[in-house]
Amino acid sequence: MITDLLNPWIRDLVPYSSARSEFSGNAEILLDANESWDGGNDGINRYPDPFARELRKKMETVLGIPYAMSAIGNGSDEVIDMLIRMFCAPGKDSVMVERPTYGTYSVFAATSNVSVIDVPLKGDLTLDEELMVDTIKEKKPKIVFICSPNNPTGRVYPLSVIERIAEENEGITAVDEAYCDFAEGFQSASSLIERNPRVVVLRTFSKAFGKAGARLGILISSPEIQKVFMKAKPPYNVSRPAEMEGLKALADYDSAMARCRETILRRKAFSSFLETLPYVSEVFPSEANFVLIKVSDAAALYSYLLARGIVVRNRSSDPLLANTIRITIGSEKEMETLKEALLGWK
């Protein structure tokens, strides 16, 4: 039972009841929420919908995410934070992550005083399935985070591997699919939820949809977990302007997908270009909107590019990623400038 996995204080929480959720029907005079009476023409004087219903309905039609299985966070970062607060007891429970991966799983765990078990990837930067399963059995983490395509490696993990890990894991398996739209033939872990409701999926409007500034993250989960998320999250976590940005992105879904296809083509061309550079010893295969490379001297290359006004990410701090740089795929013009700079190094 999912409810057995929840922190008891979350399970038994009496949620904040917002003014507007206490009445149903139509009303013309809203004097219930201590808002300003003057909002100009855009209605921004009113609090936003706590449940982002308009956006979630649109997500059901455009993205095929069932309404009862979706929730919106202030970025997927908030979803990560909330999952930890919902399921992990401070000072007692742990989460498990692959290493290297996206950094905020560990940071949010730390802010909740939840310990982090990290399981190194294999040398080729794929998941060490056996080590993960053995570690899950031994340490019983409350949440296992799996990022696919992984940041910073760009690797997609086979759905069968994720499915097995999620089955062996008695806790929650949270699959972060932030970059899924850049992966060709991607199979989402959301298809696992029906059979295994301990699986939850994270998506975001920040990457393929180009709305990082709006802060819109998506939780896809069993309706049971979705309901708990709705009652435990901050009441007005998604602003109305943000929700509008999400609606705009979905209204223009085709151009977002066209932009993804363009990004994929550019990633492939850029990866081939990188292969020709003498100081690049490895171009890791990526299915995201970035490429990870191994170079002769990452710190020196980083500084060289920075001096030319180009910022990339030096990922060398992880022992598995010595001398690696992660480069986001930018516009055609940006990539041309970058290529010229790369040709001029050493």
CA distance 240 to 74: 12
Q: Which is nearer to ligand PMP, 77 or 93 (CB)?
A: 77
Q: Which is nearer to ligand PMP, 77 or 243 (CB)?
A: 77
Site string for ligand PMP, 104-143 (x = CB under 6 A): ----------------------------------------
Task: Tell me which residue has its CB nearest to ligand PMP.
Answer: 75
Q: Which is nearer to ligand PMP, 217 or 342 (CB)?
A: 217
Which of 9-17, 56-64, 73-81, 293-301 is the region at the interface with ligand PMP (rule: CB under 6 A)? 73-81
Size, binding site for ligand PMP by CB under 6 A: 12
Strands 94-99 and 115-120: parallel
Q: CB of residue 270 vs ligand PMP: minimum separation in angstroms?
A: 19
Contacts of 69 (CB under 8 A, 6+ apart): 190, 193, 220, 221, 222, 223, 226
Q: Which is nearer to ligand PMP, 204 or 226 (CB)?
A: 204
Which of 57-65, 69-77, 182-190, 269-277 is the region at the interface with ligand PMP (rule: CB under 6 A)? 69-77
Q: CB of residue 147 vs ligand PMP: minimum separation in angstroms?
A: 5
69 close to 221: Cβ distance less than 8 angstroms:
yes
Which of 34-42, 72-80, 130-138, 316-324 is the region at the interface with ligand PMP (rule: CB under 6 A)? 72-80
Report how far Cα 186 is from the mean position of its chain's Cα atoms: 15
Q: Is 151 in the site for ligand PMP (CB under 6 A)?
A: yes
Strand extents, DSSP E, the chain? 70-73, 94-99, 115-120, 143-147, 172-176, 199-204, 217-220, 280-283, 290-295, 313-314, 324-328
Q: Which is nearer to ligand PMP, 146 or 342 (CB)?
A: 146
CA distance 62 to 304: 43
Q: CB of residue 103 vs ligand PMP: minimum separation in angstroms?
A: 9
Residue type, 118: D
Contacts of 92 (CB under 8 A, 6+ apart): none
Q: CB of residue 232 vs ligand PMP: minimum separation in angstroms?
A: 18
Site string for ligand PMP, 172-191 (x = CB under 6 A): ----x-x-------------
Site for ligand PMP in 195-234 (CB under 6 A): 204, 206, 212, 217
Q: CB of residue 290 vs ligand PMP: minimum separation in angstroms?
A: 9
Report how far Cα 50 is from the mean position of its chain's Cα atoms: 21
Q: CB of residue 178 vs ligand PMP: minimum separation in angstroms?
A: 4
| CA nearest to 107, candidates 150, 148, 145, 162 | 145
* Burial of 162: CB neighbours in 10 Å, binned 0-12, 13-18, 19+: buried
Q: Is 286 in the site for ligand PMP (CB under 6 A)?
A: no
Q: CB of residue 248 vs ligand PMP: minimum separation in angstroms?
A: 17
Site for ligand PMP in 74-103 (CB under 6 A): 75-77, 102
**Peptide bond preceding 152: is omega within 30 degrees of 0, i.e. cis?**
yes
Tokens 């309901």 label which residue? 227
72 close to 132: Cβ distance less than 8 angstroms:
no
Q: Which residues bind ligand PMP (CB under 6 A)?
A: 75-77, 102, 147, 151, 176, 178, 204, 206, 212, 217
